Amino acid sequence: MKILAVCGSGLGTSFMVEMNIEQVLKELGVTGVEVSHSDLSSATPQDADVFFLAKDIAEGGAHLGEIVVLDNIIDMEELREKVKQLAEEKNLI
Amino acid sequence: MEGILSLLVDVMSEPAILVASIALVGLLAQRKNLSDTMKGTTKTFVGFLVIAAGAGLLERALSPFGAMFQEAFNMTGVVPNNEAIVALALTEYGSNTALIMFFGMVVNILIARFTRFKYIFLTGHHTLYMACMLAIIMAVAGFKSVGLIAVGAVALGIIMTLSPAIVQPFIRKLTGNDNVALGHFSAVGYAISGLVGKAVKGKKEITSTEKIDFPKGLGFLRDSTVSIALTMTVMYIIVALFAGPTFIEGELSEGTNFLVYSFIEAGNFAAGVFIILSGVRLVLAEIVPAFKGISTKLVPNAKPALDVPIIFTYAPNAVLIGFFSSFMGGVFSLVVMTFAGSTIILPGVVPHFFTGAAAGVLGNATGGVRGSIAGSFVNGIIISFLPIFLLPVLGELGFANTTFSDADFGVSGIFFGTLANYAGPIAIVISLVVILALMAIPFGKKKKVQQ
C-alpha cells in the first residue's frame, strides 16, 4: 500500500505529516507501507492508495479518491487514531 | 598526491555531490540498510541537478519580464520569490550553501542543547534558502573558504533558533501550549502583526474572525502552481501592454505576438518554480528526517519549529482575511514606491499568501478581526519594503529581477550586509559572538515569561 501526504507547496507540512505517519506505522508494527509527500498540483489519484490532507485543502484534493482529512495537522493523537483506523480497514493489523 | 587533492577539490566544489554526501552521512548515522542508503543518496544527488534545470527555465522566463518592465516604466521591477532566487544563486554558491546548511543545523542543535532556546528548526526548505542567502551575503562581505562556512553556519544556527523564539509568545497564546513552535522565516512580520493586533484591539471585547460567515472557494490559491501561474500571467500581461508590441515583438519574442509571448513566459515562470520545488523535495527528503532524528536524541525537551500552515487550521477565516489584507499592503507599498521612484517590489501572491495568512491568524489571536486586518496589512508593507534594502547587499544577484521574499531574510540579510559595509567582516564575527553570549545567559526574567 502507498500513502501520500499532501499540502499546498509539498515542502514542509506534508513532509512533517509523512514523517509522523511513518512514526505511527512503526509504533503499530505495520510494515510494507510506502509513505511519501507531494504538493496539491502534482498529486494524482494514481500516485497512492490513500491521501492525507489538512482540513483547509481537503476541498482541493477531493478528486484524489480515498482521502483522510486531518483537522489539526500537529495533533499526533488524531493522526494516530486515523492511521490506526486505516490500518484496521486495510487489514494491516 | 596532487592528483588526489585536485580530485577532492573538484568533488567539494560540485554542490550536487556535496549534498549527496551529506545525505549519505545522515543515512549512515541512522544505520539505514543498503537499499535505503543507495536510494536516498542518489535522489539527493539528482534533486540538486533538477533544481539547476529549473533555474535555467526560470531565468529565461524572468529576464524578458525585467526588460519589459524597464521599457514600460523606466524602473526596475522585482518579483520576490524564494525558489527563484535560490535556484539562480545555487549555480554559483551551491557548495557553500550545502556546507553552511549542514553546519548550521549542527549549530542549531548545539544552541538548543546548551541554552534556554530549545527550538529545533525543521522547515528544511527555509533552512536551505537561508543558507543560500547567507552564502551570498558572507561572500559579498569578503569572507572566503573555511571562514565563510563558519560564519555562515553560526549565523544560520542563530537565526534558526531566534526566529521561532520571537513568535513563540503569540503561538503560545494561539495554541494554548508551549510544545510546538513556528519554523518559518518571516517571524519578524508575524511578531509585529501580533503586536499590532494587541495595539488595535480596543477596549471592547474582541470579535474573532471565526465568528464571520465567510465564503469559501479560494482554496485554489493554496495550490502554489496555480497561484503563481495566475499572478505571473496578470503581471506579465499588464507590463506587456505598457511595454507595447513594437518593443516586445522586435526585441524579445522574435515576431511572436506580444501577448501570446507574455502568456507563455508567465507559464514558464510557474513551470520553473514547479521543477525547482520537485528538486528541493528530493534534496530534503533524507536530510530533514536525519536532522529530526539526531536532534530529538541529543536535545531533551526540544521544541520542534514547524512549517507555517500548522497554524492555519486555528483560524481559517483569518487565513483569507490575512492574505487579502497583506496583499493590499503590498499594493499600497507598490504605489508608494512608484511615487518615490525607487525599485518596484511587485506583490508576489505566494509570500503574501503564506506570510499574510499567518500574520492574520496571529493578529486575530491578539486583536480579533481588527487585529487580523491591521496586523497582516502591516506584514504586507514589511515584506514589500525589506527587499528594497536587501537587494544592495546581495551583490550581482541584487540585479536578478527576483529576490528573497519573507521578512527574516530581509532583516538578517540587511543586518549582516550593513555591518559588513560599515565596519567590515570583523564586525560580523563580533556581532555573532555577542549574540551567542547573550543567548547563553540564562535570564531569570525571561524564564518567568516562558513558564
The whole-chain average pLDDT of chain B stands at 90
- What does each C-alpha distance from A55 to B25, B188, B217, B317 come to in angstroms? 36, 27, 14, 13
Question: Mean pLDDT, to the nearest integer, of B140-164?
Answer: 96
Enumerate the domain spans of chain A.
2-89
3-state secondary structure A4-50: EEEECCCCCHHHHHHHHHHHHHHHHCCCCCEEEEEECCCCCHHHCCE
pLDDT at residue B257, rounded to an integer: 94
Among A6, A9, A14, A64, which would you mutate to test the B interface (most chain B Cβ atoms within 10 Å of its Cβ)?
Answer: A9
Task: Tell me the residue ranges of DSSP E strands in B141-189.
Answer: 181-182
Q: What is the pLDDT of residue B443?
A: 63
- B/e letters for B273-301, b = 16+ CB within 10 Å, e = fewer, are bbbbbbbbbbbbbbbbbbbbebbeeebee
* pLDDT value of residue B447: 43
Q: Answer whether residue A89 shows pLDDT above 60.
A: yes
Question: How many other CB atoms are there within 10 angstroms of residue B206's CB atom?
Answer: 18
pLDDT at B217: 62
Q: What is the pLDDT of residue B449?
A: 41
Q: Which of B37-46, B148-157, B275-284 is predicted most confidently?
A: B148-157
The confidence score (pLDDT) of residue A59 equals: 79
A32 Cα to chain B: minimum distance (Å): 14
C-alpha cell at B57: 527555465
pLDDT band at residue B209 under the 50/70/90 scheme? confident
Of residues B80 and B202, the one with the higher pLDDT is: B80
Q: Are B96 and B139 in contact (CB under 8 A)?
A: yes
pLDDT digits (tens, 9 = 90+) for B223-262: 778 888 998 999 999 999 999 999 999 989 998 999 999 9
Q: For residue B133, what are the CA distances in angstroms to B20, B180, B250, B398? A: 21, 26, 36, 11
The residue ranking higher by pLDDT, A40 or B136, is B136
* Chain B interface mutation, best of A4, A6, A7, A16, highest count of B Cβ atoms under 10 Å: A16
CB proximity under 8 Å: B 261-280 to A = 274, 277-278, 280
Nearest Cα of chain A lies from the Cα of B18 at a distance, in angstroms, of 21
| Inter-residue contact B96 to B135 (CB < 8 Å) | yes
**Alpha-carbon span B26 to B298, nearest angstrom:** 15
Least confident piece of the model among B117-121, B127-131, B320-324, B433-437: B320-324
Amino acid found at B240: A
CA distance B14 to A73: 37
Cβ proximity of B387 and B402 under 8 Å? no
Is residue B28 scored above 70 in pLDDT?
A: yes
A2-89 has which fold?
Rossmann fold (3.40.50)
Q: Nearest C-alpha of chain A: how many angstroms from B260?
A: 24
pLDDT for the residue numbered B98: 94
